[in-house]
Amino acid sequence: MGTNVLIGQSGGLVDDRAYRKLKDDVFSVIWEELAPLEQEIENKEALPYDKIMPALRRVGAFGFLVPERFGGHGLMIRQYLPIIAEFAKIQGGVRVIVHVHNSFGHAISELANAEQQAALLPGVASGEKSVAFALTEPDYGTGADLGTRAYRDGADYVINGHKWLITNSDLASHFLVLAKTSDTEVSSILVERDRLGLTIEPLPETMGCKGGEHGRLTFSNVRVPVTNLVGKEGDGQDNLERALEISRVFIAASSLGTGQYAFELSLRHARQRITFGKPIAQRQAVQRYLAEMAMDLQALRLMLDDAAAKWDAGERIPAVASMVKLFGLEAVGRITDRALLVHGGIGYTRAHPVERLYRDARLNWLEEGTPTIQHLVTAREFLDGHWWADDFAGTKR
Ligand SMILES: Cc1cc2nc3c(=O)[nH]c(=O)nc-3n(C[C@H](O)[C@H](O)[C@H](O)COP(=O)(O)OP(=O)(O)OC[C@H]3O[C@@H](n4cnc5c(N)ncnc54)[C@H](O)[C@@H]3O)c2cc1C
Give the DSSP letter string of 270-323: HHH-EETTEEGGGSHHHHHHHHHHHHHHHHHHHHHHHHHHHHHTTB--HHHHHH
DSSP-assigned beta bridge partners for residue 149: 160, 180
Count how many residues are written for the chain: 397
Average pLDDT of span 75-97: 97
Residue 215: which H helix or E strand, with range? strand 214-225
Residue 392 has a pLDDT of 53
Model pLDDT for residues 21-54, shown as the tens digit of each residue: 999 999 999 999 999 999 999 999 999 999 999 9
Burial string for 25-50 (b: 16+ CB within 10 Å, else e) reads ebbebbeebbeebbeebbeeeebeee
For ligand 1, atom 32, name the residue with the nearest CA.
370
Stretch(es) of the chain classified as CATH 1.10.540.10: 5-129
| Chain Cα centroid distance, residue 363 | 10
Report the distance separating Cα 8 and Cα 248, nearest Å.
20
Mean pLDDT of the chain: 93
Confidence tier at 5 by pLDDT (50, 70, 90): very low
119-123, 313-317, 339-343: lowest mean pLDDT where? 313-317
Report the distance separating Cα 111 and Cα 120, nearest Å.
12
CATH topology of domain 5-129: Butyryl-Coa Dehydrogenase, subunit A; domain 1 (1.10.540)
C-alpha distances in Å from residue 25, one per residue of 18, 32, 52, 99: 11, 10, 15, 18
Model pLDDT for residues 297-340, shown as the tens digit of each residue: 999 999 999 999 999 999 999 999 999 999 999 999 999 999 99
Residue 393 has a pLDDT of 54
Residue 384 has a pLDDT of 85
Asked whether 116 and 192 are in contact (CB, 8 A), the reply is no
State whether the beta carbon of 96 lies less than 6 angstroms from ligand 1.
Answer: no
Residue 3 has a pLDDT of 31
Average pLDDT of span 189-202: 98
For ligand 1, atom 4, name the residue with the nearest CA.
165
Burial class of residue 373 (count of CB atoms within 10 Å of its CB; 0-12, 13-18, 19+): middle
Asked whether 4 and 15 are in contact (CB, 8 A), the reply is yes
Report the distance separating Cα 82 and Cα 260, nearest Å.
11
For ligand 1, atom 43, name the residue with the nearest CA.
372
Q: Is the dihedral of CA 26, 28, 31, 34 positive or negative?
A: negative
Asked whether 136 and 112 are in contact (CB, 8 A), the reply is no
First vs last Cα of the chain: how many Å apart? Answer: 28
Residue 395 pLDDT exceeds 90: no
Q: If you ran DSSP here, which 8-state letter would residue 362 be given?
A: G
Atom of ligand 1 at shortest range from CA of 366: 20
Residue 385 has a pLDDT of 81
Residue of 325, 367, 368 best suited for mutating to test ligand 1, as the one with most atoms within 8 Å of CB: 367
Residue 15 has a pLDDT of 74
State whether the beta carbon of 211 lies less than 6 angstroms from ligand 1.
Answer: no
State whether the beta carbon of 167 lies less than 6 angstroms from ligand 1.
Answer: yes
Of 317, 338, 204, 321, give the one whose Cα is nearest residue 258. Answer: 338
Average pLDDT of span 4-18: 55
Q: Is the CATH code 3.60.15.10 the one for domain 132-232?
A: no
Of 60, 42, 43, 41, give the one whose Cα is nearest residue 51. Answer: 41
Stretch(es) of the chain classified as CATH 1.20.140.10: 237-383
Residue 199 has a pLDDT of 98
CA of 220 from ligand 1 middle (Å) equals 23
45-49, 116-120, 359-363, 381-385: lowest mean pLDDT where? 381-385
Residue 4's CB is within 10 A of a number of other CB atoms, namely 12
Vertex 310 angle, CA 92 and 255, to 5°: 20
Asked whether 88 and 94 are in contact (CB, 8 A), the reply is no
Residue 13 has a pLDDT of 46
Report the distance separating Cα 273 and Cα 343, nearest Å.
9
Report the distance separating Cα 291 and Cα 262, nearest Å.
13
Say what percent of the chain tops pLDDT 90. 89
Confidence tier at 188 by pLDDT (50, 70, 90): very high
Of 217, 211, 208, 207, give the one whose Cα is nearest residue 165. Answer: 217
> How many helices and strands, by DSSP H and E, does the chain display?
11, 12
Stretch(es) of the chain classified as CATH 2.40.110.10: 132-232
State whether the beta carbon of 370 lies less than 6 angstroms from ligand 1.
Answer: yes
Residue of 96, 163, 372, 378 best suited for mutating to test ligand 1, as the one with most atoms within 8 Å of CB: 372
Asked whether 163 and 171 are in contact (CB, 8 A), the reply is no
CA of 363 from ligand 1 middle (Å) equals 11
CA of 369 from ligand 1 middle (Å) equals 6
Name the residue with higher pLDDT: 387 or 80.
80
Residue 143 has a pLDDT of 75
Residue 390 pLDDT exceeds 60: no
Residue 396 pLDDT exceeds 70: no
Average pLDDT of span 248-265: 98
CATH topology of domain 237-383: Butyryl-CoA Dehydrogenase, subunit A; domain 3 (1.20.140)
Residue 8 pLDDT exceeds 90: no
For ligand 1, atom 41, name the residue with the nearest CA.
141
Vertex 191 angle, CA 187 and 195, to 5°: 140
